Structure 1
Amino acid sequence: MATDVHGPVTTTGSSASAAVRVAGLSRTFDGRRVIDGLELTVRPGEFVALLGRSGCGKSTLLKILAGLDRDIDGTVFVPRRKATAFQAPRLMPWKKVWRNVLLGLPDKPERAVAERALEEVGLSHRADAWPKTLSGGEAQRASLARALVREPDLLLLDEPFGALDALTRIKAQRLVGELWQRRGCAVLLVTHDVEEAVLLADRVLVMDDGVIAHEAEIDLPRPRDIADPRFARIRAGLLDRLGVDATAEAA
């Protein structure tokens, strides 16, 4: 099923050729148009990273795709099976980790369903822990398990590593890359980190003035090496698009 959306976002009807299809999408807040006629296609199984300055509308777009913001104009097609992980893990402190993983699922699935997802993210040994006892990296892995247990065709990630320390962030990035390759779902990652985008994505988009202003195909072999001169060139080009002097940043 597919409809033009002038209010509720369409949550079904993405075709076999696209996991996400957006046409003429606009979103206005208090008279200010944050998203302005945006066009976007994400292919099934594709990993796309979305960059842009603060306030450019990245997170607003992700919330629309997640079905959390429906006051829109335009056409939006997304899979029925989708899941979102945010920068804050948003775990319920009064529920053990395994119960947090199953939170919101219909039909009261058994604990084994949560344990399989926790094992996939390397957290099965913390199934009975309370969220307050988890490290930042463990909490983020629990959030990923909660997303994966929904068997999504589209995984939406909103700055999921932003609050992690440098070493934990590297481990989390590697985990997400491995999960994506194993699961084969489409991924849209919103991030401020250009290096992270080039490291993980098949395609990097730059959002500006409410539209997708630039895109770069990342045709580098995996696993990627940040010391590769080709990696450095792509990163520098994206920084330039974002108005950042890569030479000055390196200095």
Structure 2
Amino acid sequence: MATDLHREVIPDTAVTVAGLTRAFDGRPVIDGLDLTLRAGEFTALLGRSGCGKSTLLRVLAGLDREIEGRVLVPERRAVAFQAPRLMPWKRVWRNVLLGLPGRPEREVAERALAEVGLEHRTDAWPKTLSGGEAQRASLARALVREPDLLLLDEPFGALDALTRIKAQQLVAELWQRRGCAVLLVTHDVDEALLLADRVLVMDEGRIAYDTEVGLERPRSVSDAGFAQLRERLLGELGVS
């Protein structure tokens, strides 16, 4: 397969994808997909299980290069997954610096941990963290890379309801403070509408629906227009 993954972007654009195809055993999971993400935009990606959402995110992260088509992405990008993927034998601050080039100082990790409200757990072992704390440590590890593109693959899926709300609020605050482009893969329609400027629905390997979320921030599920947007998105997902 031909791979065309370039770390460059068109001005004011965070991601440009043209004719992207990714097949497994001859079956295309992503099939001729076109997509543009604007710089500084928060985009949520919905879709049924198996539609290719996480595969697309892995391609944009540079973790899957067995592709056909054209993909333009920023050099500085970071990804956080549903599982925090912390190394149990490294303290939290060392996990935050994991994979960074050179020999970054501990203070770099401490600043990122403070930004996510985890400065008091700098020297903790990962096994002592709660689920919400572990996810915040994962976010700090992404933020320490100063990304122009932040990729989030269902990062709240394993959290309890209250912790999930707090984590959503944290991500919204970090995005507004940092100003980077964000692509959030989620199954939760309400989550997409609460957080995103724009919501995409993926189906059969392509973007089947694309809508702007014209609701003022901060948002609530009781806001005027929220229920109508939710109903439309559920319809696009095949849920009546």
Equivalent residue for 1:9? 5
SS of residue in 2 equivalent to 1:239: helix
Task: Give the alignment's TM-score, normalised by structure 2.
Answer: 0.99
Alignment match of 2:146 (pick from 145, 151, 158)? 151
Alignment match of 2:36 (pick from 38, 41, 47)? 41
Distance (Å, rounded) in 2 between the aligned partners of 1:155 and 1:225:
24
Report which stretch shifted further, 184-193 or 13-22.
13-22
CA contact (8 A) 2:4 2:67 kept: yes
Equivalent residue for 1:109? 104
SS of residue in 2 equivalent to 1:95: coil
SS of residue in 1 equivalent to 2:43: strand
SS of residue in 2 equivalent to 1:19: strand
Task: Give the alignment's TM-score, normalised by structure 1.
Answer: 0.94
What are the residue-to-residue correspondences of 1:135-150 with 2, within 5 Å? 135-150=130-145
CA contact (8 A) 1:8 1:71 kept: no
Structure 2, unaligned runs of 5 or more: none
Distance (Å, rounded) in 2 between the aligned partners of 1:128 and 1:56:
40
Q: Which amino acid aligns with 2:233?
A: L
Structure 1 segments of 4+ aligned residues over 6 angstroms from their partners: none
Distance (Å, rounded) in 2 between the aligned partners of 1:205 and 1:77:
19
Alignment match of 1:222 (pick from 217, 222, 226)? 217
Equivalent residue for 1:248? none
The alpha carbon displacement at 1:17 in A equals 2.4
Q: Which amino acid aligns with 2:211?
A: A
The alpha carbon displacement at 1:229 in A equals 3.1
What are the residue-to-residue correspondences of 1:1-251 with 2, within 5 Å? 6-7=2-3, 9-10=5-6, 12-245=7-240
SS of residue in 2 equivalent to 1:229: coil
Distance (Å, rounded) in 2 between the aligned partners of 1:140 and 1:192:
18
For the aligned residues, what is the CA RMSD? 0.9
SS of residue in 2 equivalent to 1:23: strand
SS of residue in 1 equivalent to 2:34: strand
Distance (Å, rounded) in 1 between the aligned partners of 2:216 and 2:196:
11
The alpha carbon displacement at 1:9 in A equals 2.3
How many aligned positions are there? 240
CA contact (8 A) 1:84 1:147 kept: yes
Report which stretch shifted further, 27-36 or 143-152.
27-36
Identity %: 75
Q: Which amino acid aligns with 2:2?
A: H
Distance (Å, rounded) in 2 between the aligned partners of 1:17 and 1:104:
28
Distance (Å, rounded) in 2 between the aligned partners of 1:172 and 1:127:
19
Distance (Å, rounded) in 2 between the aligned partners of 1:8 and 1:120:
35
